[in-house]
Structure 1
């Protein structure tokens, strides 16, 4: 399975597994990985689409969203979960990693990260608008890691009644759940179709603080 690795300036630190949105390990996802590395984390981003022979969607095409939605339908979820759990174990075993390992995901990857957290017990979970979460809520009792969830209140793919059901299911003493007013799905993605600057800025500030609290860089 192809994967991308970023090392922090120190060359070592806690690990963060980053799981892609439906467009693949896009330029945007790679920038977020670089942002995490700059904070002191060892970051690994596996190419989850590798089994279907396509690594990413061409976001310069007008039909890029339709492309991505068709592509994600071809993913074998169980295989993607197994690959992600393997990637987490690989990251944890790397000599550069010290101080724990977390998992973070965006969109498709947000739901996948939640399932990984239920299956493999990472030290922390960050999920941005996890699109699969409505069908994974029976796993919530198995997610014991400190967890952070972000959702926009205007998400066309995950309506508010589902967001509220997710919030109720995952609630716990070490769970933070943030709603971003006026933001739609994929609000952190800088593409003009999705981007909500205020929500993106606020969510990233919360994410960096949450990681500093629960997966500190020494």
Structure 2
């Protein structure tokens, strides 16, 4: 999991070193090459702002198409009305500020589902 620069590093780390791990990206530089993404064996959850000048919509669409072409489970959330780094701290979550609170809930739900599925697979 990573935010901004760390989000881009998270997907690249997972591809290169832990392809069986789920990946969470908060407005990080996406990988758009199916040949790289095909190593992934676990789902990807990503969050972006529609108004993010660093990662415009065509790039995000290319990212999702690349994931889909390799049949990698993914959930790419793009929030209207916000740009890059719209979630800055946990105070936003405590106050119920949107869309940070929604992104937080969706991220934690994604991770809970992933880890629950992993536990089920490890039960004899």
1:94 matched residue in structure 2: none
Which has the higher relative contact order, 1 or 2, with Cα contacts under 8 A spaced 6 or more apart? 2
Runs (5+) with no aligned partner, structure 1: 1-103, 191-196
Structural RMSD (CA)? 1.9
Whose Rg is larger?
1
Supply the distance in 2 between the matched residues of 1:173 and 1:143 (Cα, whole angstroms).
7
Q: Is the 1:114–1:143 Cα contact (8 Å) retained in structure 2? A: no
**Aligned 1:30-179 pairs, distance under 5 A:** 104-120=1-17, 121-131=19-29, 133=30, 136-138=31-33, 139-171=36-68, 172=71, 174-179=73-78
Q: What TM-score do you get using the length of structure 2 for normalisation? A: 0.76
Report 1:190-209 matches (<5 A). Answer: 190=89, 197-209=97-109
Unpaired segments of 5 or more residues in structure 2? 90-96, 120-124
State the TM-score, normalizing by the size of structure 1.
0.45
Could you tell me whether the CA contact under 8 Å between 1:128 and 1:151 is conserved in 2? yes
